[in-house]
Amino acid sequence: MTCEPSPAPARPTKTVVRADVLEWLTCTPLDARHAVVASLPDYGELPEHAVAPWRVWFTRVADAIFAAAHPSSPVVFYQSDVRHAGTWIDKGFLVQQAAERAGAALLLHRVVCRRPAGTITGGRATWSHLLLFSKQLRCSRRFTYADVLPDGGPRVWVRGLGLVSCQEIVKMIRQESACGTLVHLFAGKGLLLEVAREQGLHTVGVDLS
């Protein structure tokens, strides 16, 4: 009798979809296996949008994300505030308004430093909101998290997620849920998809480019 070697475990899959996020959400059902991560662009990344219509668009997309996510799944937002015409646009606040409309609770609110503390900037904030929501999940008391990450880690592009931020997002999803697939909306260069795959999660990235 010949003993056959055990097959190697299958590598988690990665699917990249070139599509408008709103359109994709309306035609793609998400279930309890799917954790959702989003980093919505600001008006500077969408040159065709003035600030007022951009805010309407931002609110519409945030509402659609909470509506599409399964009640027992985590929903993570990574957002950086921006300055416009002498005022701040707080994207974390806009996301939390959408969460309240959807009946989702804020489980974790963490701050990620994009530049060293004390750095002076004229436009984009030097830190980002890292927000974890869910309608039904509640954080386990087995795990604790740093409220402030002093360095988000190296980035593939200037406005993208840093490596440390990606690792922390994956850790939160794995520790706080049983989801096996990470869905990254506005996936950009896809660094989070690769980090999640290395940690054993299937991944789906959605972006127009």
**From 24-38, 83-97, 189-203, the region with the lowest mean pLDDT:** 83-97
Compute the mean pLDDT over every residue in the chain, rounded to the nearest whole number. Answer: 91
User: Residue 207: which residues within 8 A CB-CB, separation 6 or more?
Assistant: 16, 17, 18, 19, 21, 185, 186, 187, 188
Distance (Å, whole) CA 126 – CA 106: 22
Tens digits of per-residue pLDDT, 3-51? 455 454 578 999 999 999 999 999 999 999 999 999 999 887 776 668 8
> CB atoms < 10 A from the CB of 137, how many?
20
- Non-local (6+) Cβ contacts of 159 within 8 A are 45, 80, 188
Q: What is the pLDDT of residues 129-144, one digit of tens each?
A: 999 999 999 998 899 9
pTM of structure: 0.92
Q: Which residue has the higher pLDDT, 123 or 206?
A: 206
Q: What is the pLDDT of residue 209?
A: 82
Residue 1: predicted pLDDT: 45
Distances (CA, A) of 134 to 50, 64, 77: 31, 14, 11
Decide: 134 and 103 in contact? Cβ < 8 Å: no
